[in-house]
Amino acid sequence: MHSQSILALTLGLAWLLLSSAAAVTLPKGILKLDGRPAPPLVLQNMDGERWDLSESRGHWVLVHFWATWCGPCRKEMPTLQAILPQLDPKKMELAIINTAESEDTVFSFLAAVAPDIVPLMDTDGQVTERWQPRGLPASFFVDPDGRLRYLALGGRPWDTPPYLNFIKGLANQ
């Protein structure tokens, strides 16, 4: 009886330790944020349609800032294109925001590497300033309540299993 109690205690402790470790395991370069409310984000996309983050409550949003002159952004963009068809926009929406470039510049780049992405245009760069990313590119994960939950440092290979599983895991919460 005594040894059975110790076994139960050991198993319980093992389960607690392993499950808590798994809960905080994030892909490389993903930071957990403090859950403060996301700054306002209202922009027009390249087709002229208005998009407002506050209307995306109830599902996750990946808010991504980039520019064509930034090398890591150029490398990362095809990986965002690759995951786009694998995500249900009702669970995980992508808001791809170009920082302060012209439509011609953005169109000529995206047409070649990410034709399905319709970016939001931060034409004067002021929305990006308000979000204060740590640099370009930057990807924030906004939860269904409109709070900042995770930040990806720099460019990440979103189409590889650790990152894709992370995104799908959030979407299916």
Residue ranges in contact with another protein by CB under 8 A: 3-4, 6-7, 10-11, 13-14, 17-18, 21, 28-29, 31, 67, 69-70, 99-102, 123-126, 128-129, 134-136, 153-154
Report the residue number, 30 or 87, with the smaller CB distance to another protein: 30
Locate 107 and state its tokens.
């169109």
Shortest spacing between CB 85 and another protein, in angstroms: 29
Nearer to another protein, 116 or 129 (CB): 129
> Measured between alpha carbons, how far is residue 9 from residues 14, 16, 17, 131, 157 in Å?
9, 11, 12, 47, 41
Q: How far is the CB of 116 from another protein (least distance, A)?
A: 25
Residue 11 or 42 having the CB closest to another protein: 11
State the minimum distance, in angstroms, from the CB of residue 111 to another protein: 18
State which residue, 2 or 90, has the beta carbon closest to another protein: 2
How far, in Å, are 9, 74, 114 from residue 79 at the CA level?
Answer: 45, 10, 9
Rounded least distance, CB 166 to another protein, Å: 16
